[in-house]
Amino acid sequence: MDILLKYFDDFTPAQLEQFKALEDLYKDWNEKINVISRKDIGSLYERHVLHSLGIAALFNFKPGMQIVDLGAGGGFPGLPLAIFFPETEFLLVDSIGKKLKVVDGIAEAIGLKNIQTRHSRIEDIKNKQFDFVVSRAVAPLKSLWQWSKPLIKKNIEKYVPALIEKGDHAPGLICLKGGDLAQEISESGTRPHVLPLTELFTEPFFEEKYLVYVPK
């Protein structure tokens, strides 16, 4: 938990309690349904919660915005982002229902009201659009963009230039990825903005980890 306070100092008391509760809740749920590898559960706040909040460090999700987490798994990055942005609506989608059971249980336990889950393939979501699609290490960028593009609202407002810096951004796909992305980006046909997470967080875990933003 201390690692979150190293980088964020404006949590409300309610948010602090919600973040503090995650460790015991995930440990308990992980004994029943394995959503986090056993070698990582002891580093929950660094490798999962802080990693997810890399998006919050750069993107300002406004009240009333709708965000979909594609392939949410055990709730990352969507659940920490829902705590961080309590007035933004989050839909966490995954094709494995038992993982969403964990998300539902944790959200209920901490009183998180702005989150819903859906047991579905992302391709099966029709007639609904979102301000942003977020995702973490789910699929190659080409596939992520193919799935995401129909779900992203049209850009009808003026935004700051589409650089990855704190501010308002055009609707798009935001994903957390690792490793050498050159070939993956080339094959995707997109022109994303890429930020090394080492520019945000100094821990060795974040070396070769990136935030990738594709505006629509």
Q: Which residues are annotated as a binding site?
A: 71, 76, 122-123, 136
Per the structure block, which two tokens stand in for 94? 């995954």
Q: Are 90 and 100 in contact (CB under 8 A)?
A: no
Q: How far is CA 195 from the centre of its chain?
A: 15
CA distance 23 to 114: 20
As a whole number of angstroms, the distance between CA 128 and CA 126 comes to 6
Per the CB < 8 A criterion, the answer to whether 91 and 68 are in contact is yes
* Bind-site residues for S-adenosyl-L-methionine: 71, 76, 122-123, 136
